[in-house]
Amino acid sequence: MTMAPWLRSLPSLTGTAPTPDAEPLPDQPEELFERWIRQAVDAGVAEAHGATLATVDADDIPDARTLILKDLGPGGWAFAGPRASAKAAQLAAHPAAALTFWWPAVLRSVRVRGRVVEASAEDSAADLAARSAAARDGIGPGDWVLWRLVADRVEFWQGSSDRKHLRTIYRRTDDGWQLTSPESENR
Ligand X SMILES: Cc1cc2nc3c(=O)[nH]c(=O)nc-3n(C[C@H](O)[C@H](O)[C@H](O)COP(=O)(O)O)c2cc1C
Min dist. Cβ of residue 54 to ligand X (A): 10
Residues that bind ligand X (rule: CB under 6 A) add up to a total of: 11
- Binding of residue 108 to ligand X (CB under 6 A): no
Q: Are 99 and 149 within 8 A, CB to CB?
A: yes
| Residue 136 CB contacts under 8 Å (≥ 6 apart), including other chains | 128, 129
**Which residue in the set 50, 75, 104, 182 belongs to the binding site for ligand X (CB under 6 A)?**
50
Min dist. Cβ of residue 66 to ligand X (A): 4
Q: Which of 70, 121, 113, 110 is nearest to 95 (CA)?
A: 113
Q: How far is CA 54 from the centre of its chain?
A: 10
Number of other residues whose CB lies within 10 A of the CB of residue 15: 18
- Binding of residue 85 to ligand X (CB under 6 A): yes
Q: Residue type at 63? A: D
Query: In terms of C-beta density within 10 A (0-12 exposed, 13-18 middle, 19 or more buried), how is residue 73 classed?
Result: exposed
| Nearest CB to ligand X, comparing residues 143 and 167 | 143
Min dist. Cβ of residue 84 to ligand X (A): 9
- Binding of residue 68 to ligand X (CB under 6 A): yes
Q: Which stretch binds ligand X (CB under 6 A): 63-71, 116-124, 162-170, 176-184?
A: 63-71
- Binding of residue 65 to ligand X (CB under 6 A): yes
- Binding of residue 80 to ligand X (CB under 6 A): yes
Q: Which of 120, 130, 122, 136 is nearest to 70 (CA)?
A: 130
- Binding of residue 81 to ligand X (CB under 6 A): yes
Query: Which residues contact ligand X by CB under 6 A?
Result: 50, 63, 65-68, 80-81, 85-87
